[in-house]
């Protein structure tokens, strides 16, 4: 009953009491749903021990049958959670983030025809989930809750006129003079947040074919809650809530991170918790840490959120060959403390660009990172606010630098995400990029970082010990397997250690810390420099130190100093 009372309180804060009939209908539906679908509770805080693998089903291996065939590959890699990039029914103008129907997986991903029954399609998807769960792989997927496709039935009805009952599911106006302080997210691809349709305009934050939902209409909130519950009932373990900061619109604001948006998220969370506690709700909030942390609430909003600002600072640290950007970002002044039950999700690359939005990097940092990593003009995204390139391309196909980047990401606090193909150094896919431009009519350079895996070619490359794929795969797979064994990485605290030059000055080329959880203590030492570094630590090394990968630390007892090769890393269990 506590969760039901929470839902009532949130509803009244959003809408007052004039829509109580809709609220009561939803609560009755919720109680009936829980009674009808007996779903086993999830383990508390399981996401803290997760290593996530992110993929597009079709680009990874054609469809869910192909993905099922590769589940052993994924399991052997060492990951234990799959993040499926958009799988729901869509015209595919924005890689599936333009959803046409919320309770249906795309037919082609199921390897099925449109004429096959919904029951058969649901059975096929459940079959995949069962195979994943057998292997200890949890499954989460993307759901865009801020907007739909313009092909969604709601929008098709909405555009018929002001008297249509679905008109108020979206935001319509006779001109473009509302929400004028809202920033344009897709600079260079869109010119306005308003799109003309007939004699009126509708509001959108992303592409013009993705109209924003109107959460001022309580029906939108109950409908979207029902969509989440539908997939919870099918057996999905969690959701990545796409574009979460923009849900509520308010005149004379920038329409981001508003109080009502947080109430909507609390409503989703309470509804999910009522039916199945610990169903992951992951916030995709491309904001400063001080704003992202608000999406954790008091442990009553999202369970986890992306640490967007840490990602570019890892790249900056490697470009500067200095630990300062990382250490500065993880100070409490920049990254506030979060509720005990919640978690940051960390990543190097994802399906989008290397984001350099000015909401969380300074103009100076943006320019510096762009200059050091945008190695080709065609990689530019959003007029310098991003770089569309795979990790191996950003690191100029240097397997040692790629492995160092992963060492940093896998050992810092948080739950790490591996983007499909990065584990073997997948390159930008220009052929796929050019194909998608023709299909969508949009010059979206993010398509460079997607593309299909050629499993036949990969098999040959992995056998060739001198290939980039083989070298990267060997290093990354070893790191993932070691990380999985120690809860200190996902749950532990971090203690920074200063490296000192022999003259006593700081050696900022070396990034050193201890991860500690209960009796586990793991010392991480990483040389960010392309030069050999000799340094001392304010922790007494042992001459016989051998790290988890069998590498022996080079320690000079007389000088009490360590020497590390360029881009070398050591994970030492203390």
Give the C-alpha separation, 477 to 502, whole Å.
35
Give the C-alpha separation, 241 to 285, whole Å.
9
Give the C-alpha separation, 264 to 278, whole Å.
18
The b/e string for 396-412 (b: 16+ C-beta within 10 A; e otherwise) is eebbbbbbbbbbbbbbb
Q: Which two tokens stand for residue 203?
A: 């509001």
Give the C-alpha separation, 330 to 482, whole Å.
23
**Residue owning tokens 């990790």:** 391
- Contact yes or no for 378/451 (Cβ under 8 A): no
Question: Which among 82, 94, 96, 59 is positioned nearest to 421, based on CA atoms?
Answer: 59
Other beta carbons within 10 Å of 64: 24
Residues 175, 179, 181, 182, CA torsion sign: negative
Residue 498 annotated to the active site: no
- Contact yes or no for 158/164 (Cβ under 8 A): yes
Sheet strands (E) in 467-509: 493-496, 499-500
Catalytic annotation, pick one of 58, 63, 89, 242: 242
Other beta carbons within 10 Å of 191: 10
Sheet strands (E) in 457-532: 493-496, 499-500, 510-517, 520-527
**Residue owning tokens 């037919």:** 107
Whats the size of the chain, residue-wise? 574
CA angle 57, 63, 67 (to 5 degrees): 65
Backbone angles phi, psi at 534, to 5 degrees: -120, 130
Residues 389, 394, 399, 401, CA torsion sign: negative
Question: Which among 66, 109, 49 is positioned nearest to 517, based on CA atoms?
Answer: 49
Read off the DSSP letter of residue 445. Answer: G
- Contact yes or no for 536/572 (Cβ under 8 A): no
Residue 242 annotated to the active site: yes
Q: Which two tokens stand for residue 188?
A: 């260079």
Sheet holding 172-173, edge to edge: 172-173, 200-203, 194-197
Catalytic annotation, pick one of 195, 284, 380, 385: 284
Give the C-alpha separation, 551 to 553, whole Å.
6
- Contact yes or no for 344/415 (Cβ under 8 A): yes
Catalytic residues, which ones?
242, 284
């Amino acid at each position: 009953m506590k969760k039901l009372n929470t839902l009532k309180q949130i509803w009244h804060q959003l809408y007052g009491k004039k829509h109580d009939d809709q609220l009561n209908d939803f609560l009755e539906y919720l109680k009936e749903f829980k009674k009808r679908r007996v779903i086993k509770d999830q383990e508390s805080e399981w996401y803290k021990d997760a290593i996530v693998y992110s993929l597009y089903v079709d680009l990874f291996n054609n469809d869910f049958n192909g993905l099922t065939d590769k589940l052993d590959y994924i399991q052997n890699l060492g990951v234990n959670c799959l993040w499926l990039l958009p799988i729901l029914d869509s015209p595919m103008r924005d890689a599936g983030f333009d959803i046409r129907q919320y309770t249906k997986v795309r037919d082609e991903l199921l390897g099925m025809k449109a004429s096959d029954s919904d029951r058969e399609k649901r059975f096929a998807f459940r079959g995949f989930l069962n195979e994943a769960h057998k292997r200890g792989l949890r499954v989460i997927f993307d759901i865009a809750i801020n907007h739909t496709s313009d092909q969604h039935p709601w929008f098709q009805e909405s555009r018929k006129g002001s008297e249509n009952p679905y008109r108020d599911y979206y935001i319509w106006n006779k001109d473009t003079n509302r929400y004028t302080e809202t920033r344009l997210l897709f600079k260079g691809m869109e010119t306005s947040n308003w799109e003309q349709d007939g004699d009126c305009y509708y509001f959108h934050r992303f592409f013009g074919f993705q109209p924003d939902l109107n959460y001022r209409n309580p029906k939108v909130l109950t409908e979207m809650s029902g969509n989440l519950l539908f997939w919870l009932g099918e057996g999905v373990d969690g959701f990545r809530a796409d574009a979460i900061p923009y849900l509520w619109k308010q005149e004379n604001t920038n329409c981001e991170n508003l109080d009502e948006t947080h109430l909507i998220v609390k409503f989703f969370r309470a509804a999910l918790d009522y039916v199945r506690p610990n169903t992951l709700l992951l916030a995709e909030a491309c904001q400063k840490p001080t704003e992202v942390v608000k999406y954790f609430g008091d442990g009553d909003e999202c369970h986890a959120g992306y640490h967007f600002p840490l990602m570019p600072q890892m790249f900056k640290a490697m470009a500067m060959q200095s630990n300062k950007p990382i250490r500065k970002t993880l100070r409490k002044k920049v990254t506030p403390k979060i509720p005990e039950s919640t978690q940051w999700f960390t990543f190097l690359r994802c399906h989008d660009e290397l984001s350099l939005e000015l909401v969380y990097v300074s103009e100076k940092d943006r320019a510096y990172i762009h200059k050091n990593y945008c190695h080709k003009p065609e990689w530019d995204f959003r007029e310098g606010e991003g770089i569309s390139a795979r990790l191996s391309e950003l690191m100029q196909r240097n397997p040692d630098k790629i492995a160092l980047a992963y060492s940093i990401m896998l050992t810092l606090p948080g739950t790490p995400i591996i983007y499909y193909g990065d584990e073997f150094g997948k390159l930008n896919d220009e052929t796929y990029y050019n194909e998608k431009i023709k299909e969508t009519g949009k010059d979206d350079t993010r398509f460079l970082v997607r593309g299909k895996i050629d499993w036949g070619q990969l098999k040959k490359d992995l056998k060739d010990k001198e290939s980039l794929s083989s070298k990267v795969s060997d290093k990354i797979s070893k790191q993932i397997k070691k990380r999985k064994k120690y809860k200190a990485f996902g749950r532990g605290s971090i203690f920074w250690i200063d490296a000192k030059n022999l003259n006593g000055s700081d050696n900022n080329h070396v990034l050193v810390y201890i991860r500690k959880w209960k009796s586990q203590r793991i010392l991480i030492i990483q040389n960010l420099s392309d030069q050999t570094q000799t340094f001392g630590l304010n922790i007494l090394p042992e001459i016989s130190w051998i790290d988890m990968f069998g590498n022996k630390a080079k320690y000079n007892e007389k000088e009490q100093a360590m020497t590390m090769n360029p881009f070398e890393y050591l994970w030492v269990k203390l």
